[in-house]
Amino acid sequence: MTENVNHDLKVDYTRDELARQHFASGLRSYVLNSLSGNMRTVYTKKVEPAFKKKNKRAPKTAPEIHKALKPETIFKFYSAMRCNTQEMCFRSVIPGIEREAEDLARRVKILGQNTEKAQGTLTVDPKLQIPRYVSELDVHLMAGNYHEEHIPDDVSQGAIFDNGLSVFAMGFLGPRMDDITQSVSTYFTKRYPDFKPKKILDLGCTLGHSTLPWKERYPEAEVHGVDVGAPAVRYAHGRAQSYGVTAHFAQKDAEHTKYPDASFDIIYSCMFLHEVPKKNIRAIFKEAYRMLKPGGVMLHYELPPNSMLGAYDSFYLDWDSFYNKEPFYKAFRDMDPQDECAAAGFKKGKYFQYTAPSLNFYGADAIDKAVADAKIHTDGENHMGRLVDGVQWFTFGAWK
């Protein structure tokens, strides 16, 4: 199941470890498909009719659905199983990573020194203050989060995210687990074919899944990724060198990066904002506005806002906020992305959003079709997030 970690930082797992990974992945698939389907059925057949009888109306909001479903056995079973399988994904990869931790750090060094295939750089800042919303959490139940270090030049937390994601994603994210940014960036290039960025920055890049596809789209551009986690950026550097992609990774806080004003053409993030508290998201947007060149673009792949979804789907996505150590998830999804872009300085008419069909699932033709459709339907109607009507990635942004 960790076969999607197909670069030089691959861990040599034992057969027992691989069997455990397969089991964790299979169980997770059962929870997300069968159990979640059963929970929906109990909601539709039992909980919603009972709510209607009592209140003379259907539930209108995600919190109402959450409250009504909470006493049901299926909700408790689903929640317990989801938390357990989430932990299993990480636990199934940690022993191998602990065994190889020193060797992984050594491999990253060697990959960095080998400049034949790629000439990427790595900058680590041991004095960087890790924000409390990272240092005080094990986000999505990932022990050690993105920043903890136990040995010199530790890359383990990067390896845990990479290997854990491979078990977690069940092949969903494509061969390099970068389908989201592959799809989002492909859509972007097709929708804005005349835009030729020279410098691109990926905020909260972790190990570069969201960074490297930009170099594929724009080979002439200088591509950077920043993250507060030193193990994350070290691993990102090694992974990029291994794939032969030149990218520059730095340990920096996206709220104050110290990059000069007007230095980037694209400032992007992927699955980053929902892990950040509201006031810090606002600081990050202002910092992005400052760093963007006039005519540049800020772009974020994220979970779709609650205002775009029905009450049940909102409840389903917000579950993570309550039970999966994603404390900022719901507050982020309650925000209006357009208002937040405007508050950071972007003009209202410069806002846009789109949903990119998954390149991995549907191919480039589906993206061409979505771009053509978007030119006709500009109301963002064909939106969606995960687990509903196909695999599509919601993206919003604004031009400076």
Ligand X SMILES: C[S@@+](CC[C@H](N)C(=O)[O-])C[C@H]1O[C@@H](n2cnc3c(N)ncnc32)[C@H](O)[C@@H]1O
Q: Which residues bind ligand X (CB under 6 A)?
A: 131, 134, 146, 203-206, 209-210, 226-229, 232, 253-255, 270-272, 275-276
- For the CB of residue 327, give the shortest distance to ligand X in the complex, in Å: 13
User: Contact, 221 vs 185, CB < 8 A?
Assistant: no
| Amino acid residing at 123 | T
Q: Closest CB to ligand X among 303 and 371?
A: 303
Question: What are the structure tokens assigned to 266, written together?
Answer: 């694209």
Q: Closest CB to ligand X among 59 and 337?
A: 337
User: Contact, 176 vs 210, CB < 8 A?
Assistant: no
- For the CB of residue 301, give the shortest distance to ligand X in the complex, in Å: 8
User: Contact, 170 vs 25, CB < 8 A?
Assistant: yes
Single out the residue of 293, 234, 228 nearest to residue 260, CA to CA. Answer: 293
Nearest to ligand X by Cβ — which residue?
A: 204
Q: Closest CB to ligand X among 249 and 354?
A: 249
CA dist 258 and 302 (Å) reads 25
Q: Closest CB to ligand X among 31 and 284?
A: 284
Question: What are the structure tokens assigned to 25, written together?
Answer: 């992945």
- For the CB of residue 290, give the shortest distance to ligand X in the complex, in Å: 15
End-to-end CA distance of the chain: 42
**Residue 275 gets which letter from DSSP?**
G
Strands 392-399 and 351-357: antiparallel
- For the CB of residue 139, give the shortest distance to ligand X in the complex, in Å: 7
- For the CB of residue 277, give the shortest distance to ligand X in the complex, in Å: 10
Q: Of all helices (H) and strands (E), which one includes residue 251? A: strand 248-251
Single out the residue of 233, 291, 248, 225 nearest to residue 120, CA to CA. Answer: 248
33 CB-contact burial (10 Å; exposed 0-12 / middle 13-18 / buried 19+): exposed
- For the CB of residue 257, give the shortest distance to ligand X in the complex, in Å: 8
**Cβ neighbours of 392 (radius 10 Å):** 23
Q: Closest CB to ligand X among 20 and 209?
A: 209
Q: Closest CB to ligand X among 221 and 271?
A: 271
Residue 200: partners with Cβ closer than 8 Å, 6 or more residues away: 214, 218, 221, 222, 223, 224, 264, 265, 266, 267, 268
Q: Closest CB to ligand X among 168 and 319?
A: 168
CA dist 238 and 251 (Å) reads 14
- For the CB of residue 129, give the shortest distance to ligand X in the complex, in Å: 10
CA dist 305 and 341 (Å) reads 14
Question: What are the structure tokens assigned to 42, written together?
Answer: 């109990």
User: Contact, 300 vs 331, CB < 8 A?
Assistant: no
Q: Closest CB to ligand X among 272 and 289?
A: 272
Q: Closest CB to ligand X among 209 and 237?
A: 209
Largest CA distance in the chain: 70
- For the CB of residue 255, give the shortest distance to ligand X in the complex, in Å: 5
**Residue 195 gets which letter from DSSP?**
-
- For the CB of residue 268, give the shortest distance to ligand X in the complex, in Å: 9
Q: Closest CB to ligand X among 206 and 358?
A: 206
- For the CB of residue 227, give the shortest distance to ligand X in the complex, in Å: 4
